Amino acid sequence: MASIRQIQEKLLARGYNPGPIDGVWGRLTLAAVRAFQGNAGLVADGVVGPRTLEALFAGSPQLATSEPQPVWYREAVRLLDVREKPGAADNPEILEWAKGRKIAYPHDSIAWCGLFVAHCIGATLPDEPLPTNPLGARSWVAFGDGCPAALGAVLVFWREQKTGWKGHVGFYAGEDESAYHVLGGNQGDKVCITRIPKGRLLANGVRKPKSVKLLAGGTVRRPAAGSYSLREA
């Protein structure tokens, strides 16, 4: 699969300015993709799906035919192993996510799974409306549109009590018979992939951005390796 940096490099080579070649999906990269799509006769939605990859990487089939990852999911993958600081200290990177989305968030000791999802989507799809309270995990049930589970879908879970207010939110990375494999933040105080029992998924808890017509790939099967998630706050 083409990385964000490779996409930026190819855009620049084709005469579109993606901004710094830094592997970060920002507004300039999004605008460059939309401009390329428009000139290539594609839907100018800024989503680098199979048709956009094929057009952009003409002559590089090994990049064009791989399973596409949504841009927000690529940003999530890039942030794997980002951790909160212990005690009273804060990880400035996590606080910067909040500043970028104009979310009041003073310390990384406050649950940040919703902030992580808000950053990944907001930084890569800046026109996509986020929930009114993105820090509240369960508020993501109202995000975008419902959809089948596929790579990058937003998954919303209950935590501790199904009828309570606590929850957890992350991205679909796959599933086994009994659990979803979730790429999320604040999972053991870091960004990682963990297994969450399917019975914890809330009703209407599989979501996608409204600006994306569909998520490609469908169900992703993963081996049932490792224990269930033990801590998400």
In a domain, residue 230? The reply is no
- Look at residue 6 and tell me whether its pLDDT is greater than 90: no
Q: What is the CATH number of the domain that holds 40?
A: 1.10.101.10
Strand order in the sheet with 179-184: 145-146, 201-208, 154-158, 167-175, 179-184, 192-197
In a domain, residue 221? The reply is no
Interstrand relation of 201-208 and 154-158 (parallel, antiparallel or unpaired)? antiparallel
Q: How far apart are CA 107 and CA 217, in angstroms?
A: 37
Beta bridge partners of 174: 181
In a domain, residue 215? The reply is no
Overall average pLDDT of the 120-136 stretch:
94
Looking at the fold, whether 86 and 153 belong to one and the same domain comes out as yes
pLDDT, position 65: 41
Q: How far apart are CA 30 and CA 125, in angstroms?
A: 8
Looking at the fold, whether 10 and 116 belong to one and the same domain comes out as no
Overall average pLDDT of the 123-138 stretch:
95
Looking at the fold, whether 176 and 197 belong to one and the same domain comes out as yes
Taking only the tens place, the pLDDT of each residue in 157-189 is 999 999 999 999 999 999 999 999 999 999 999
CA angle 59, 63, 67 (to 5 degrees): 140
Overall average pLDDT of the 113-129 stretch:
95
Residue with tokens 């995990």: 137
In a domain, residue 29? The reply is yes
% of the chain with per-residue pLDDT over 70: 95
Reported as type and span, the H/E element at residue 187 is none
Looking at the fold, whether 155 and 197 belong to one and the same domain comes out as yes
Residue span of the structural domain in which 151 resides:
71-208
Look up residue 70 and give its DSSP letter.
-
- The structural domain count of the chain equals 2
CA angle 112, 114, 117 (to 5 degrees): 110
Taking only the tens place, the pLDDT of each residue in 50-92 is 788 888 887 664 454 444 688 899 899 889 999 999 888 999 9
Q: Would you say 158 and 202 are in contact if contact means Cβ atoms under 8 Å apart? A: yes
Residue with tokens 């990487």: 57
Q: Which amino acid is at 180?
A: Y
| Selection from 131, 146, 134 nearest residue 204 by Cα | 146
Looking at the fold, whether 86 and 173 belong to one and the same domain comes out as yes
Distances (CA, A) of 107 to 12, 71, 86, 114, 183: 38, 27, 11, 14, 22
